[in-house]
Chain A
């Protein structure tokens, strides 16, 4: 079947659309069933409680309707999706030499091993359904930093794993969190012990190669008291004419006085449904930042959320969405204030190009009794062409009147005067337009590590080619 699927020719816009000559060593039958869930659990050699958890989650998934309040999901057909594809027998290779050559070459093309040597503290690489590589710098291992696949986390750190797994996002949370809970595979298990500051980022890279595959990674990050970590997630896939599906669950616990950041540069091919639930629990005087960049996919529904559950907790959510023709980026964020003297912000920048559509969807909730909460929301939309579209759905539930809440929203169009001004200094029209877009997202992009900011700029330049005139 997969041999018959043609790779769509989309010119050079999406440069990661190549297909690797890799056949999975084992692939579940198409569609979702109890048998498939059991098979996944069997292949992972899991304890019985996990299989029970999965089966229960499957029931929850089946009992929940497909959400209709957001992006159009009617094209997503679960019967046409493979829920598990094992790329190789060996999980969590510690050296790239142990990764099958074809797979390794893909990551080399993507520049992962090189980045690992230069600017990262550790790398996890997921290929289809499994983490094929996982390594963290030795000095961090000695300090007790755990950075392994979620499966290894369950196997070797079961107590710690059980303490956190599904506590931040239970299967009941939403239909796709339930689905992930039933069929999860891959993702990282990260534990940063008290007081340990991981200076360089940890990166996980997700690649889906098998056509019509769903990827359901599950990540747990625990940042213990006073510790610091920055986790970066990147992703690409070949451009098939049939759709693929990615539905991750990311649970983060930021303990007292700790600081964490989770950065996503989502660059899936334009045939991907990307429905992700990610949530952080932020404790006393702790801080968490979500930096969410959504450039790829056909449909994205993704609203990183932070629950500020103890005094002094703070969180910022920075979001960039770029929707080109054929894409709907439904993104934003949620900040839930359940303690006094907590604060945070959401800054959302969306760009819609061609017939692309971006939506900002956000929730600010301040519980009664959470005193002196300070929160600010800013969402700016930039429309490149006449047919480009944007919508804003800002929800506010403020139950305590000591809260200070700011909200600002703007919609602007690519400005001809700006283009002419830049052009009159020598920049070609496309470059001028790309530069304006880069300037538009700069307040968010400047928070990225340099290498990622450069990559983001490059991606935006590619997306902006042939955009005007």
Chain B
């Protein structure tokens, strides 16, 4: 079995609409954390949502494989139960549904049976402690009226409780203050290990000071145009995307 999340020559468009991904190739081995950077509108979030199974996009070519198995035919919930997780760029508000209650249902769905309440409570406590957060967030309605930063932190809390094998974090750092950024990085680093792979979508090199990636990829116009180590993020920070865009233009 190949222990990796593989995106193979992925072409995708909005259902009956515009094409957004033009042949994405990407491999995230289990145990590693990769970063994706790229200008606004490059298709980063779309890639994240497509991996998670968003039905508003359709795949016209290529494949997505989790540990060697294609997940294209699976619905989003089935992918999640197999160990995939997407921390949303814009977490969705669900009024009337308590945060903890929802998490319990999600964990229950994943485990395929009643969750042990003590165990569940333990997981919550551990996540809250790492994220230096107050219990009161548990009884609030899911993302309802949360501040931008609270929403992002809550996504990481969900991730820590659901313990996915592969996580995609879409701009989790955007909207976080300096202290919150450190705390969230602590949460992600706590997940790090041989059984966890992650794809961080970010605009800022700063996050990568706290979560040092194994690789950095740059996406432009729905394609990965170059990859490298953490130093690539530093170069983008200094020079912007023009040089990569040129690279992309010559490549195509």
Task: Give A contacts to B, CB under 8 Å.
Answer: 415-418, 420-429, 431-432, 435-436, 438-443
Task: Write out the residue numbers on chain A whose beta carbons fall within 8 Å of the beta carbon of B85.
Answer: 424-425
Task: Write out the residue numbers on chain B whose beta carbons fall within 8 Å of the beta carbon of A441.
Answer: 96
**23 A–B contacts from the bound complex (CB under 8 Å):** A420-B52, A421-B88, A423-B53, A423-B80, A424-B54, A424-B76, A424-B80, A424-B85, A424-B86, A425-B85, A426-B77, A426-B80, A426-B162, A427-B77, A427-B105, A428-B75, A428-B77, A429-B75, A435-B102, A436-B94, A440-B95, A441-B96, A442-B97
Total A-B Cβ pairs within 8 A = 84
Interchain CA distance A443-B86 in the complex, whole Å: 29
> Known: A423-B80, A435-B97. Contact between A418 and B105, CB under 8 A?
no
Task: Write out the residue numbers on chain B whose beta carbons fall within 8 Å of the beta carbon of A421.
Answer: 88, 91-92, 94
Residue B138 CB within 8 A of the other chain: no
Top 5 A-B pairs, shortest CB-CB distance: A439-B96, A442-B96, A439-B97, A421-B92, A426-B80
Q: Could you tell me if B92 and A425 are in contact, using CB atoms closer than 8 angstroms? A: no
Residue B56 CB within 8 A of the other chain: yes
Q: Chain A at the B interface: mostly helix, strand, loop or mixed?
A: helix
Q: Could you tell me if A420 and B55 are in contact, using CB atoms closer than 8 angstroms? A: yes
Closest Cβ–Cβ distance, residue B25 to chain A (whole Å): 23
Residue B106 CB within 8 A of the other chain: yes
Closest Cβ–Cβ distance, residue A239 to chain B (whole Å): 30
Residue B110 CB within 8 A of the other chain: yes
Residue B244 CB within 8 A of the other chain: no
Interchain CA distance A424-B92 in the complex, whole Å: 11
Task: Write out the residue numbers on chain B whose beta carbons fall within 8 Å of the beta carbon of A428.
Answer: 75, 77, 109
Closest Cβ–Cβ distance, residue A390 to chain B (whole Å): 18
Task: Write out the residue numbers on chain A whose beta carbons fall within 8 Å of the beta carbon of B53.
Answer: 423-424
Task: Write out the residue numbers on chain A whose beta carbons fall within 8 Å of the beta carbon of B158.
Answer: 425
Q: A420-B56, A426-B80 are in contact. List 6 more A-B contacts (CB 8 A).
A: A415-B92, A420-B52, A421-B91, A422-B106, A424-B52, A427-B105
Query: Most A CB atoms within 10 A — which of B86, B92, B158?
Result: B92
B side interface size, CB within 8 A: 31
Q: Could you tell me if A440 and B96 are in contact, using CB atoms closer than 8 angstroms? A: yes
Interchain CA distance A24-B28 in the complex, whole Å: 72
Closest Cβ–Cβ distance, residue A34 to chain B (whole Å): 52
Q: Could you tell me if A443 and B96 are in contact, using CB atoms closer than 8 angstroms? A: yes
Interchain CA distance A427-B68 in the complex, whole Å: 24
Neighbour of B77 across the interface among A415, A429, A443, CB < 8 A: A429
Q: Could you tell me if A425 and B96 are in contact, using CB atoms closer than 8 angstroms? A: no
Interchain CA distance A406-B83 in the complex, whole Å: 47
Interchain CA distance A418-B92 in the complex, whole Å: 6
Q: Could you tell me if A425 and B97 are in contact, using CB atoms closer than 8 angstroms? A: no
Closest residue of chain B to A416, judged by CB?
B56
Task: Write out the residue numbers on chain B whose beta carbons fall within 8 Å of the beta carbon of A418.
Answer: 92, 94
Q: Could you tell me if A439 and B54 are in contact, using CB atoms closer than 8 angstroms? A: no
Interchain CA distance A436-B105 in the complex, whole Å: 13
Task: Write out the residue numbers on chain B whose beta carbons fall within 8 Å of the beta carbon of A442.
Answer: 95-97, 141
Closest Cβ–Cβ distance, residue B94 to chain A (whole Å): 6
Task: Write out the residue numbers on chain B whose beta carbons fall within 8 Å of the beta carbon of A420.
Answer: 49, 52, 54-56, 76, 92
Query: Most B CB atoms within 10 A — which of A424, A427, A432?
Result: A424
Q: Could you tell me if A436 and B97 are in contact, using CB atoms closer than 8 angstroms? A: yes
Interchain CA distance A421-B55 in the complex, whole Å: 11
> Known: A428-B109, A435-B105. Contact between A423 and B94, CB under 8 A?
no
Q: Could you tell me if A427 and B88 are in contact, using CB atoms closer than 8 angstroms? A: no
Neighbour of B94 across the interface among A416, A429, A431, A435, CB < 8 A: A435
Task: Write out the residue numbers on chain B whose beta carbons fall within 8 Å of the beta carbon of A423.
Answer: 53, 75-77, 80
Task: Write out the residue numbers on chain A whose beta carbons fall within 8 Å of the beta carbon of B88.
Answer: 421, 424
Residue B245 CB within 8 A of the other chain: no
Q: Could you tell me if B162 and A425 are in contact, using CB atoms closer than 8 angstroms? A: yes
Closest residue of chain B to A428, judged by CB?
B77
What 0/1 readout, one digit per residue, does chain B (63-102) give for beta carbons within 8 Å of chain A? 0000000000001110111000110100110111100001
Interchain CA distance A356-B48 in the complex, whole Å: 36
Q: Could you tell me if A426 and B94 are in contact, using CB atoms closer than 8 angstroms? A: no
Neighbour of A426 across the interface among B49, B92, B106, CB < 8 A: B106
Closest Cβ–Cβ distance, residue A380 to chain B (whole Å): 10
Task: Write out the residue numbers on chain A whose beta carbons fall within 8 Å of the beta carbon of B105.
Answer: 427, 431, 435
Q: Could you tell me if B56 and A427 are in contact, using CB atoms closer than 8 angstroms? A: no
Closest Cβ–Cβ distance, residue A361 to chain B (whole Å): 24
Closest Cβ–Cβ distance, residue B58 to chain A (whole Å): 14
Task: Write out the residue numbers on chain B whose beta carbons fall within 8 Å of the beta carbon of A426.
Answer: 77, 80-81, 106-107, 109-110, 162
Neighbour of A438 across the interface among B52, B91, B96, CB < 8 A: B96
Interchain CA distance A429-B79 in the complex, whole Å: 13
Interchain CA distance A427-B81 in the complex, whole Å: 8
Task: Write out the residue numbers on chain A whose beta carbons fall within 8 Å of the beta carbon of B52.
Answer: 420, 424
A-facing residues in B144-185 (Cβ within 8 Å): 158, 162
Closest Cβ–Cβ distance, residue B142 to chain A (whole Å): 8
Task: Write out the residue numbers on chain A whose beta carbons fall within 8 Å of the beta carbon of B77.
Answer: 423-424, 426-429, 432
Task: Write out the residue numbers on chain B whose beta carbons fall within 8 Å of the beta carbon of A443.
Answer: 96
Closest residue of chain B to A440, judged by CB?
B96
Interchain CA distance A420-B96 in the complex, whole Å: 17
Query: Most A CB atoms within 10 A — which of B81, B94, B107, B141?
Result: B94
Closest residue of chain A to B91, judged by CB?
A421
Q: Could you tell me if A422 and B102 are in contact, using CB atoms closer than 8 angstroms? A: yes
